[in-house]
A and B are shown apart, each in its own frame.
Chain A
Amino acid sequence: MEQIRIHGRGGQGVVTAAELIALAAFYDGHEAQAFPNFGVERSGAPIQSFARIDNQAIITREQIYEPSVLIIQDSTLIGNVDVFQGISKKTKIIINATKNNWSHLHLKSKHLYFSPATEIALKILGKNIVNTVILGALVKYTGLISLKSLEKAVQTKFANKGTEIIKKNIAALKMIDKI
């Protein structure tokens, strides 16, 4: 079972990111689950969300304490929140950042990836909602979900937001290859 934990702040699309992962995994033919851990209900508050992918029905509902994939949507959380809790040598970590500034943390995992998601999101979406950009990185670095299914997930999830938003977010999914 793949267990994905996402850290970010309220307003950055953290909950939606986990939902998009579950939707895409389901469209790929897997069993999937996504759920949030809301903090206080306000923008900027640290927030987590979780997604699980498996080939058999997922029944556990505990939060994810030993992630196989860790996504950090807001690097200012590092040092303030224990975002690296439960990582192992194998955990793949994707951080919204321009470069590796965390060698001093001596992380167990060597699978560290970076995506300048804020920069890209501001350019494409005009807002610091980095989830779709960083999910593009998830596809590229983990292969857990297909880009095609992720596009379909964006279309489904953002159906009420209009074609313009859908188009921009699908473009955002593909930006990782253009860096």
Chain B
Amino acid sequence: MISKNKKQILEGSNAIALTIKNIAPAVVSAFPITPQTHIVEDLAKMKADGLASFEYIRAESEFAAASIVLGASATGVRVYSATSSQGLLLMTEVVFNIAGMRLPVVMTVANRSVSAPINIWNDHGDAMAVRDAGWIKFFASNHQESVNQHILAYKIAEKLQLPVMINVDGFILTHSYEPVIIPDDKTIKKYLPVYQPPTGTYLDPKNPVTLGAFFGPNNYLETRQMLHEDLMSSLEIIKEEYKLLNKTLANQGANHQRQKLSRIDNGLIEYYGPQKPKTILIAMGSVIGTILETIKNFKDVGLLKIKVYRPFPAEEIVKIIKPAQNIAVLEKAISLGQSGPLYADLAATVMASKIKKNLNLKNYIVGLGGRDITQKMIKEIIKDAPQKNNYLKFIGKI
């Protein structure tokens, strides 16, 4: 049999849509919003052209789209949605419900800034607005990673009954073309079996159950604790499943051999650079490539890429940053009135691990509302990182 797992050049949105088609959810529901639009347009077209078997339900708003996939997922079938920015914010209430009801919903967020002022371009403000909802959150840095993370997401979601959000930078990834392999449906099936949740865990007239019921002060705390603990224990499972996915893809000739540049890559994090770096830059998403290109010329600078942001892989991070003197957290979000949210997570991690008392931990807010992040900016950050000055800086000058 001729494998269909060949390298193609595709738009990021199209790559995601083709992957979702091969994953074969039963129900897709979405409301179009820039820059998510191409993903759901492509899925709608596949359905209209008779190439996909899913039910495509057009929703009157994002609140409805999220509610539709919640309801469909509660009946025990595989579902998909995608959104951005204001759309995600309109979904917020449902997003929390999906996690609380332990529904394995998978959703792409084409990351975009949040209004006002109105801005359609990329940053991570939307993802951070639902940071605490109880979803697993992946961040992709290129098309292949985004494709593979979508496949991984369904496996994790359905295995653990936890929702997974895949964050892809709006425009930068959704509207760009680069080479990528879309694993065909047979390859995906080898890794991701047909979804059939156990009887009694989903809405079924023959086996009636209640989902998302009332919990009083005597029980609510424990449900949150359980959700938290399940999220934390998913870290190990994500690592295992990531290994298994890569193995399956390699066996099926679907592993895109990008240059292997990282020293450590376990599905949660990736580390690039020397074994004993003086400075480590930490970032998530599409800016990783630009940083990597920049640090090629720096001998004592490393790059730590966070691929799973929730649950937070603190232990893995500590192992990497231990030898470093300076840590620079670059992020496309700001928790207004505090710092970047990733920075706050790092600070908590460093405190709890007691790795170094005099560690120089700094935060650089970059790329908000689509501002380009240039190699020049990154060089500036590398130069500034060891300086004892303000811990929080906005870097905007191109």
Q: Which residues of A contact B (CB under 8 A)?
A: 15, 19, 22-23, 26, 31-38, 41, 56-63, 65
Q: Which residues of B contact A (CB under 8 A)?
A: 9, 11, 34, 120-121, 142, 171-172, 175-179, 258-259, 261, 286-287, 289-290, 292-293, 372-375, 398
| A32 with B179: CB separation less than 8 A | yes
- With contact pairs A32-B177, A33-B176, A35-B175 given, residues A61 and B259 touching in the complex (Cβ less than 8 Å): no
A30 to B302, CA, bound (A): 29
| A33 with B171: CB separation less than 8 A | no
Give the residues in chain A near B9, CB-CB below 8 Å.
22-23, 26, 32
Across the two chains, which residue of chain A brings its CB closest to B7? A26
Q: What are 21 inter-chain pairs, A to B, with CB distance below 8 A? A: A19-B177, A22-B178, A23-B9, A23-B177, A31-B179, A32-B177, A33-B177, A35-B171, A35-B172, A35-B175, A38-B171, A41-B34, A41-B120, A59-B142, A59-B290, A60-B290, A61-B287, A62-B372, A62-B373, A63-B372, A65-B374
Most A CB within 10 A of own CB, among B178, B372, B373, B398: B178
Give the residues in chain B near A62, CB-CB below 8 Å.
290, 372-375
| B178 with A32: CB separation less than 8 A | yes
Give the residues in chain A near B293, CB-CB below 8 Å.
59-60
Most B CB within 10 A of own CB, among A22, A38, A58, A59: A59
| A61 with B374: CB separation less than 8 A | no
| B372 with A26: CB separation less than 8 A | no
| A58 with B178: CB separation less than 8 A | yes
- With contact pairs A41-B34, A60-B375 given, residues A35 and B176 touching in the complex (Cβ less than 8 Å): yes
| B171 with A61: CB separation less than 8 A | no
A157 to B245, CA, bound (A): 31
Give the residues in chain B near A38, CB-CB below 8 Å.
120-121, 171, 175
A65 to B376, CA, bound (A): 11
- With contact pairs A23-B9, A38-B171, A56-B259 given, residues A61 and B177 touching in the complex (Cβ less than 8 Å): no
**Among B11, B121, B258, which residue has its beta carbon within 8 angstroms of that of A57?**
B258
Give the residues in chain B near A19, CB-CB below 8 Å.
11, 177
- With contact pairs A22-B9, A26-B9, A41-B120 given, residues A34 and B372 touching in the complex (Cβ less than 8 Å): no
A56 to B257, CA, bound (A): 11
Give the residues in chain B near A58, CB-CB below 8 Å.
178, 289
